[in-house]
Amino acid sequence: MHIPDGYLSPSTCAVLYGAAAPFWYIALQRVKKVMTTRVVPLLSVMAALSFVIMMFNLPLPGGTTGHAVGVAIATIILGPRASILAISIALSIQAVFFGDGGITTLGANCFNMAIVGSLVAYAVYRLAAGRAALASPRRVAAAALAGYAAINASAFCAAVEFGIQPLFFKDASGAPLYAPYPLSIAIPAMMIGHLTLAGLAELVLSAGVVAYFQRTNPTLLTLTAPGNLAAEEEMAGAASPGMWRTVRPLWIGLALLLVLTPLGILAAGTAWGEWSARDFSNLRAREKMARASQNTAPPADPPRGLERLSSLWTAPFPQYAPSFVRRPAVGYALSAMFGSGAIILVSLMAGSLAARMRGKTP
Which of 208, 210, 213, 190 lies closest to 59, judged by CA? 208
Give the C-alpha separation, 356 to 348, whole Å: 12
Q: Which of residues 187-216 bind another protein (CB under 8 A)?
A: 204-205, 207-209, 211-213, 216
Residue of the chain from 20, 90, 223, 321 that contacts another protein (CB under 8 A): 90
The least distance separating another protein from the CB of residue 133, rounded to whole angstroms, comes to 19
The least distance separating another protein from the CB of residue 88, rounded to whole angstroms, comes to 9
Please, what's the b/e burial string for 202-234 (b: 16 or more CB within 10 A of its CB; e: otherwise)?
A: bbbbbbbbbbebbeeeeebbebbbeeeeebeee
Give the C-alpha separation, 99 to 96, whole Å: 6
Residue of the chain from 107, 147, 163, 166 that contacts another protein (CB under 8 A): 166
The least distance separating another protein from the CB of residue 64, rounded to whole angstroms, comes to 10
Residue 179 binds to another protein (criterion: CB under 8 A): yes
Please, what's the b/e burial string for 253-287 (b: 16 or more CB within 10 A of its CB; e: otherwise)?
A: eeeeebeebeeeeeeeeeeeeebebebbeeeebbe
Q: Which of residues 46-85 bind another protein (CB under 8 A)?
A: 46-49, 51-53, 55-61, 63, 65, 70, 73, 77, 85
- CB-CB contact of 279 with 286 (8 Å): yes
Residue of the chain from 217, 240, 295, 311 that contacts another protein (CB under 8 A): 217
Which of 337, 301, 311, 331 lies closest to 319, judged by CA? 331
The number of residues that bind another protein (CB under 8 A) is 75
Bridging pattern class, strands 58-59 and 65-66: antiparallel
Q: Which stretch binds another protein (CB under 8 A): 35-43, 254-262, 288-296, 352-360?
A: 35-43
Q: Which of residues 99-138 bind another protein (CB under 8 A)?
A: 99, 102-104
Which residue, 40 or 342, is less far from another protein as judged by CB? 40
Q: Which stretch binds another protein (CB under 8 A): 9-17, 254-262, 264-272, 354-362?
A: 9-17
Give the C-alpha separation, 61 to 43, whole Å: 32
The least distance separating another protein from the CB of residue 193, rounded to whole angstroms, comes to 12
- At CA 112, angle to CA 101 and CA 57, rounded to 5? 60
Residue of the chain from 44, 282, 319, 352 that contacts another protein (CB under 8 A): 44
